[in-house]
Chains A and B, each alone.
Chain A
């Protein structure tokens, strides 16, 4: 009995809200500016004194209004808690250094150039692996997505590779390439190939048959079809693959840098571990985090630039 009451109380309000939304949507029709547009607009507009049309400023079913600096709120709170815990001694420096120790260590390491050189080494590894993997994944996806021969030759091996976690290949890669840079870059690349391949291939294979039909009626050549229809149509899938690839690249980087590295952020961190310098470990984590954030922002920027023809809910 008591549970049914609230629903009854709410329903009239829901009804009025839906009605007012419809009125608000009315004048928008005039935007089409056709003869009928102005006609409909005139009909929908109240003659005078009626309800005032309110323009909605955002999508009704969207997540809602943005909170200013909302993204920074959570991290800031964490930082304050950490600082308080360190200052009051609740947090032992051997477990976790204080934030200010991390900052002073960072400025020392920046001053003597160690941080920058390690950072560049790591960034270079990740970038090379990513570039190699994305390139290879794209080429393989195009081969198997656009030709039957390619599919027969490429898809099987890639699916096999997909079943094996890339990190499990590290022993073999060390045997073949030693513990140098090749092994590290290749490990990252192998992890990147799969998501790029899978998503690009799926996107190419699911291109709307109606667009293929259109391409036939306007007599596109095969190359024009690839260029004008297949590639742009597969771009959202490709970018999705790249986003996952970036995450995979950082994961692989962290792992390979813990193995016999003599430079890089990971090496800096494992060295710090043997001396119990938690502030350097923290600094390494911050750097990895910044890497991740920056690369994700870069991919999203590319997405926004290249997919501006879409209307995205989050926008």
Chain B
């Protein structure tokens, strides 16, 4: 989670975006966005619903071929996408989902290792419908990591999970990132999730990155750490959410934006 250690000559960043603009009809959703993600850096992107987070992520994933816009994008070929809906092929067994499109002679062994890493050893032959929501999302994580990506793009991967499962997924993700060290761009609604996981948190407002905070807290980041609370206060302010000092007691409900929106 800490910034790149022992960096003598700066390696080129994993992602470099200049002047990214995206429009839907007359509406400009992304307006001249610049973004750089260093090697192994974990960046969280916050923003209100409809602020263009997914649009930005899909641009980096090159899934927006039918969207009008401009900009200069440099990103690695070897990247993985984690979707909110897990997107496992229902007709393929768990292991086949993990190694989908992996053209390596040891694909099966790698797939099994990746499943073991996310705590699903022994479930290789299960069908996706036989897994719980959290287990399915762990398979989706394994599917991303088995490719040893330089960049992981995740769009609210834990949005559909309950709070406790989500906390376990945070621990798992932190552990996996510490081991594989991909650069990560995590889109989320959850301010606490962003502060817990990221090296840097960005806030997207009106199609621009309006706020940027470097989180330099040591690895287990307790929610009650005053520095944590300070980050959260200013991020919520950037998001335009008024916070009374007292509301920080109620950690879960106040920090989640759009929590009640469908």
Which residues of A pack against B, CB within 8 Å? 32, 34-36, 39, 210-211, 213-220, 224, 228-229, 232-233, 235, 307-311
Given contacts A36-B162, A218-B100, A220-B101, contact A309 B134 (CB under 8 A): no
A311 touches B63 (CB 8 A): no
A217 (CB) vs chain B CBs: closest residue: B81
Q: Are A36 and B92 in contact (CB under 8 A)?
A: no
| B31 beta carbon closer than 8 Å to chain A | no
Contacts of B80 in A (CB 8 A): 217-218
Among B44-52, B83-91, B210-218, B248-256, the stretch in contact with A: B83-91
The residue of chain A having its C-beta at the shortest distance from the C-beta of B153 within the complex is A217
Q: Which residues of A lie under 8 Å from residue B165 when comparing CB positions?
A: 34, 36
Q: Which residue of A lies closest to B80 (CB)?
A: A217
A210 near B92: Cβ-Cβ < 8 Å: no
**Residue B61 at the A interface, CB < 8 A?**
yes
| With A34-B165, A34-B168, A219-B101: A233-B91 Cβ-Cβ less than 8 Å | yes
Which B residues are closer than 8 A to A by beta carbons? Answer: 61, 63, 80-81, 83, 85, 87, 89-92, 96, 100-102, 127-129, 132, 134-135, 143, 147, 162, 164-165, 168
CB distance from B88 to the nearest CB of A (A): 9
- Tell me the complex Cα distance, A310–B135, Å: 18
Across the interface, do B90 and A310 meet the contact criterion of CB distance under 8 Å? yes
Q: Is the CB of A217 within 8 A of B91?
A: no
Chain B residues near A224 (CB-CB < 8 A): 101
Are B127 and A309 closer than 8 Å at their CB atoms? yes
Q: Which of A35, A214, A309 contacts B168 (CB 8 A)?
A: A35
A235 to B96, CA, bound (A): 17
- Contact, CB under 8 Å: A32 / B134: yes
Pick 23 A–B contacts, CB within 8 A, sort by A: A32-B132, A32-B135, A34-B134, A34-B165, A35-B164, A35-B168, A36-B162, A210-B85, A210-B87, A216-B63, A217-B61, A218-B100, A218-B147, A220-B100, A228-B89, A228-B100, A229-B89, A232-B89, A232-B92, A235-B91, A307-B91, A309-B90, A310-B129
**Alpha-carbon distance between A217 and B64 when the two chains are bound, in angstroms:** 12
Q: With A and B bound together, what is the CA distance between A262 and B90 in angstroms?
A: 50
Smallest beta-carbon distance B130→chain A, Å: 9
Shortest C-beta distance, B63 to chain A (Å), equals 6
Chain A CB count within 10 A is highest, among B91, B96, B102, for B91
Considering the complex, give the chain B residue whose CB is closest to the CB of A39: B164
CB B75 to nearest CB in A, in angstroms, measures 13
Known contacts A215-B101, A217-B61, A34 near B132 by CB under 8 Å: yes
**Other contacts beyond A34-B132, A39-B164, A309-B127: 14, CB < 8 A:** A34-B165, A36-B162, A210-B85, A213-B87, A214-B83, A214-B87, A215-B101, A217-B61, A218-B80, A219-B101, A228-B89, A228-B96, A235-B91, A310-B129
Instruction: Say whether B91 contacts A232, CB under 8 Å.
Output: yes
Number of A-B contacts (CB under 8 A): 65
Closest to B129 in A: A311
Complex formed: what's the CA distance from A229 to B91 in Å?
A: 9
Of chain A, the residue at the smallest CB distance from B128 is A309
Report how far A199 CA is from B126 CA in the complex, Å: 28
Residues of A within 8 A of B89 (CB): 211, 214, 228-229, 232-233
Determine whether the beta carbon of B100 is less than 8 Å from that of A217: no
Chain A residues contacting B128 (CB-CB under 8 Å) are 309
A308 to B162, CA, bound (A): 29
Measured in the bound complex, the distance between the Cα atoms of B86 and A214 in whole Å is 10
Is B101 within 8 A of A308, CB to CB?
no
CA–CA, A183 and B87, complex, Å: 48
| Shortest CB distance B158–A (Å) | 14
Residue of B nearest to A229 (CB): B89
The answer to whether B91 and A218 touch across the interface, beta carbons within 8 angstroms, is: no
Instruction: Specify which chain B residues have a CB less than 8 angstroms from the CB of A218 in the assembled complex.
Output: 80, 100-102, 143, 147
Contact for A309 among B61, B83, B91, B102, CB less than 8 A: B91
Residues of B within 8 A of A210 (CB): 83, 85, 87
In the bound complex, what is the Cα–Cα distance between A230 and B85 (angstroms)?
Answer: 19
Q: How far is the CA of A70 from the CA of B81 in the complex (A)?
A: 51
Minimal Cβ-Cβ distance residue in A for B166 = A36
**Which one of A214, A219, A220, A308 has the highest number of Cβ atoms from chain B below 10 Å of its Cβ?**
A214
> CA–CA, A137 to B138, complex, Å?
40
Q: How far is the CB of B171 from chain A (nearest CB, A)?
A: 11
Cβ distance B141 to chain A, nearest Cβ, rounded Å: 14
Which chain B residues border A35 with CB–CB below 8 Å? Answer: 164, 168
A307 contacts across to B, CB distance below 8 A = 91
For B162, what are the chain A residues with a Cβ–Cβ distance below 8 Å?
36
Q: Does A211 lie within 8 Å of B87, measured CB to CB?
A: yes
List, in ascending order, chain A residues with CB within 8 A of B127's CB. 308-309
A307 to B129, CA, bound (A): 12
Assess whether B129 is in contact with A309, with CB atoms less than 8 Å apart. yes
**Closest B residue, CB atoms, query A307:** B91
A225: nearest residue on chain B (CB-CB)?
A: B101
